[in-house]
Amino acid sequence: MKTYLLTSPHFTGEIELRFNENGHLIKYDNRAELTEKQFAYMLFRIPVNIDSLSVLTDGNQSKLTEVKIELTFDMFWDKYDYKMGKKARVMKLWEALTETDKQAAMKGIVKYDMYLAGHTKMEKAYPETYLSQRRWENDFR
């Protein structure tokens, strides 16, 4: 997932654009004070995929900045939502992951939870097991 902020000397505030891992727009948040003309311009040119971002900055003074979102242990702990085992050991495993693995692990939680919902006799793995066995890499069908 990638997030960008659009700023310009022609308006105050910023516009947030968030794209999923496939490069498709999933969030547009206008936190800028735009004139009616500027709003119509933006509405017509909102990029639906990450490859068309340049349309917002070509030929003008607008600036597009990528926002790095750090995935914290607390974000994982809350999303996994099965607070069993030794939290300190889970935290150590989380911190040892690369940023790419952290993103994949977070994304995998949704698939894992959906899989478990269809397999009611299976118990959810402890968070330590999920991370140490890289369960997000399993093919949950």
- The DSSP element (H or E) to which 105 belongs, if any, is helix 99-118
SS3 122: coil
Quote the tokens at residue 115.
């899989």
Rounded distance between C-alpha atoms, residue 90 and residue 38, angstroms = 48
DSSP 31-61: EEE--HHHHHHHHHH--SBGGGGGGGTTTSS
Per-residue pLDDT of the chain (141 residues; tens, 9 = 90+): 789 999 999 999 999 999 988 899 999 999 999 999 999 988 888 999 999 888 888 677 888 988 887 789 999 999 999 999 999 999 999 999 998 899 899 989 989 999 999 998 999 999 999 999 999 999 877
Rounded distance between C-alpha atoms, residue 78 and residue 7, angstroms = 32
